[in-house]
Amino acid sequence: MTKYSTNKPESDLQPVTTGQANNQNQSLFEPLNLPTTGQIGSLELRNRLVMAPMTNYSSNADGSVTDTELAYYARRSGGVGMVITACANVTANGQGFPGEIGVDRDDLVPSLNRLAQAIQGEGAAAVLQIFHGGRLCPPKLVNGDVVSASAVPAEAVGSAIPRELTDTEVQDIVTAFGDATRRAIEAGYDGVEIHGANGYLLQQFFSPHSNRRTDRWSGDVHGRMAFPLAVVEAVQAAVREHATRPFVVGYRFSPEEPENPGISMPDTLALVDALVETGLDYLHVSLMDYRSLPHTGDVTRPRLDTLVAQLNGRVPLIGVGSVWSADDALAVLAAGAALVALGRSLVVEPDWAQKVEAGQEAQLRTELTPDEQALLVVPDPLWTRILNAPGWFPVAQPV
């Protein structure tokens, strides 16, 4: 039996022959049941593959999703078990990118539902990533009111000096995360992922570089966890109150920071322990390469291996980072991760899962060319950034 991937011009279709995965790849396609917050059953994922959350800059100015965005997600949802969307801002002053998904208003629920249905219609679970950009928000997107844990700018040249949030404002943002979770439930998602990575607001509160406060949201490594843990509590409370079917809550984190002082690997291991105690349904490490070594703590052991050992099976972990081949994905699982996320590789090869499952690893695309936008179903804003950011994606010139 032969099937063709959807949303490709017919002349450019490459057949994907269905069949059993090679025995060596079978572990990638085993189903996984994630226990869910609120104990309303579990969420069954058809395999161990996840579409990683990747900003695509393609929503409307009001935060609603576009038709091209829907097509982009649908095109990549047919083979993976779970799709984690690009980050969605929980407050108006939390928008970190132009063309970002919004989850800060009730009137966005119908739009959010369209995205959930586009993903679920292809057989994948839909998880909405929710966040606040903090000091990394471009001033023009937040009316110049850039906020953070403290009035400490990011180290990048030209970074805005943020305004330190008041205690009341911090609590309001905690509440906003709970409200965003309710909207995700109403919009039909299967879960939310709290974005505590990549230098955004939750990480800013946990970081000794950006958090110089002297109140209840600060202090030593445990004191700096107060805001992230309060957000987790608010999100879980919303799930318990509003969810009527399985709904997962995950948390993404970056294990280290380049700043000095910054988050160290020992700091992160303490955070991981605290997050496990909250009863989160999964954790998701943010890495550019799953093989990368830390620069603090045990510098001889890959970060992924260290995290797996610390978790010791207490909660599922999603591993990620430069996963291009089936061997890469298998290595992430072999390290002890329960799930493996595909980012750039799924943009370049939307049929990654289908080809690997069919034993066609040799046919995986590993680069794109500037004339393949329609073939790959990528929205204009994301495509433009891909072509204008050397080194981000493997881009070959057309023959």
Residues annotated as part of the active site = 200
Residue 4 makes CB contacts below 8 A (sequence gap 6+) with: 13, 15, 16
Q: How does strand 16-17 pair with strand 2-3?
A: antiparallel
* Residue where the block lists tokens 């607001």: 201
* Residue where the block lists tokens 């993404």: 252
Other C-beta atoms within 10 Å of 281: how many? 23
In angstroms, the CA 129 to CA 284 distance is 11
Other C-beta atoms within 10 Å of 271: how many? 24
* Phi–psi pair at 220, nearest 5 degrees: -75, -170
In angstroms, the CA 220 to CA 42 distance is 36
In angstroms, the CA 302 to CA 308 distance is 10
| Secondary structure E strands in 275-336 | 282-285, 317-319
In angstroms, the CA 329 to CA 49 distance is 9
Helix (H) or strand (E) holding 32: strand 32-35
